[in-house]
Amino acid sequence: MTEALSLYVAAFVDGLVQAGVAEAVISPGSRSTPLAMAIAGNPALRFSMHIDERSAAFFALGMAKAKRRPVALVCTSGTAAANYLPALVEAHYSRVPLVVLTADRPHELRDVGAPQAIDQLHLYGRYAKWFVDLALPEEAEGMLRYAQAMAARAVGAAAAAPAGPVHVNLPFREPLVPEIDDGVWERVQALKGVPRVVNGQPTISDESAAGLYKELAAAQRGLIICGPLDRPGFAEAVTALARALDVPILADPLSQLRAGAHDKKFVIYRYDAILIYEAIA
């Protein structure tokens, strides 16, 4: 039982790392012990502990936003997972990649009045881009590859445009303390067929881009309004478009356009102060 648990969680965590996760935020709890120990035992992962789940979720949200890559967020079973919802809603609308890992009771302890148990299936509704309820740990090679593949798929789904949070529910039976050592990692990393995550970039054809530019250039009074969009190269691209069209940009404080090395000739910062005058508006 312990060997199966150890290998399974190690394979899952290795899948996260192979897919590009480098940071994890852990809310301590009993049922999530296997995941927490596997994360702590992987030298490729940096992790931090936050007792309060709501604070942990927003800490992970800020980290993912700053790093521009998925961050793993771990909690125990029960209402602990429900405290992640506010941050997930913000991650959904802000397009921030989060991989939320909730530990759960095994299937035989669901809907039977077991303590600290709630229905965690699709807990976050449409605010999660993707959800999976993983199988219980097994040490068969096929199941270890399955754990790796589900971890990689979760990271890929979180990072794929538009980015956002995903939810992986992991049921564990007792005993909950794995034996994470060098031998476990060696066996997991020796598995063949480790999944790779390759996300494409959404693009439009040159013909469509030319048609769109022609339509925009024909407008007599053009205006570009920019809200939050933290994407590398966006500031340079949108200011180049403004220059080509000879139109102003109304830049929201979170638009990343008010500061930086890009051309700010067409960027209007204080548009709210200007638009309070009805005649100007």
Each residue's pLDDT, cut to its tens digit, for the chain (281 residues) gives 799 999 999 999 999 999 999 999 999 999 999 999 999 999 999 999 999 999 999 999 999 999 999 999 999 999 999 999 999 999 999 999 999 999 999 999 998 988 778 999 999 999 999 999 999 999 999 999 999 999 999 999 999 989 999 999 999 999 999 999 999 999 998 888 877 888 887 888 999 989 998 898 888 888 999 998 888 889 999 999 999 999 999 999 988 899 889 999 999 988 888 888 888 77
- The domain total for the chain is 2
Instruction: Identify the CATH number of the domain in which residue 61 sits.
Output: 3.40.50.970
Q: Do residues 23 and 85 both lie within one domain?
A: yes
Q: Do residues 175 and 51 both lie within one domain?
A: yes
Q: Do residues 107 and 245 both lie within one domain?
A: no
**What is the rounded CA–CA span in Å between residue 30 and residue 51?**
12
Buried b (16+ CB within 10 A) or exposed e, 246-279: ebbbbbbeebbbeeeebebebbbbebeeeeeeee
Question: Containing H/E element for 168?
Answer: strand 165-171
Q: Do residues 171 and 210 both lie within one domain?
A: no
Q: Do residues 159 and 240 both lie within one domain?
A: no
What does the longest C-alpha to C-alpha distance in the chain come to?
A: 75
Signed CA dihedral, 167, 173, 177, 182: sign only: negative
Is residue 200 in some structural domain? Answer: no
Domain range spanning residue 246? 206-274
**What is the rounded CA–CA span in Å between residue 110 and residue 133?**
13
Q: Do residues 256 and 184 both lie within one domain?
A: no
**Strand 23-26 relative to strand 267-268, pairing:** unpaired
Q: Do residues 182 and 266 both lie within one domain?
A: no
The strand pairing partners of 73, in sequence order, are: 25, 100
SS3 (DSSP) at 132? strand
Is residue 180 in some structural domain? Answer: yes
Q: Do residues 220 and 152 both lie within one domain?
A: no
Q: Do residues 93 and 211 both lie within one domain?
A: no
Q: Do residues 104 and 33 both lie within one domain?
A: yes
Q: Do residues 185 and 218 both lie within one domain?
A: no
Helix ranges restricted to H, the chain: 2-18, 33-40, 53-67, 79-82, 85-94, 141-159, 182-189, 206-217, 234-245, 271-274
